[in-house]
Amino acid sequence: QHCCVCGETGATIMCRHEDCNRWFHLPCAKEGGCVTQYIVDYSSYCPEHRPEQTVDVTPEPDTECLVCMEPVEDTKTYDTMVCPTCRR
């Protein structure tokens, strides 16, 4: 199978979404925006079908993460999670 991220053969992970034929290598998953869930069912998704958080909020400029104190981008991204309660 061809990897949908790098284009090389030998991809072993298939997107779990019904009717999706995209495959990818585990090392390519993060780079390509794929999601692999390491919880029961162990589902993997291509960038088009990956699950997304339903909170419709974007961080304010100069927001810092409350856990690691690193700056948070002021746009909604897959890499940023928003607390559904306080919306930060």
Which alpha helices (H) appear in the chain, and where do they start and end?
Answer: 26-31
Mean pLDDT along residues 73-85:
67
List, for residues 25-76, the tens digit of each pLDDT value: 999 998 898 988 888 889 999 999 988 777 666 667 787 877 888 887 766 6
Extents of the domains making up the chain: 1-51, 53-87
Q: Give the model's pLDDT for residue 72.
A: 76
pTM for the model: 0.65
Residue 71 near residue 80, CB atoms below 8 Å: no
Say if residue 17's pLDDT is above 90: yes
Instruction: Identify the pLDDT of residue 79.
Output: 65
pLDDT of residue 80: 66
Q: What is the largest CA-CA distance in the chain?
A: 45
What's the mean pLDDT in 3-12? 96
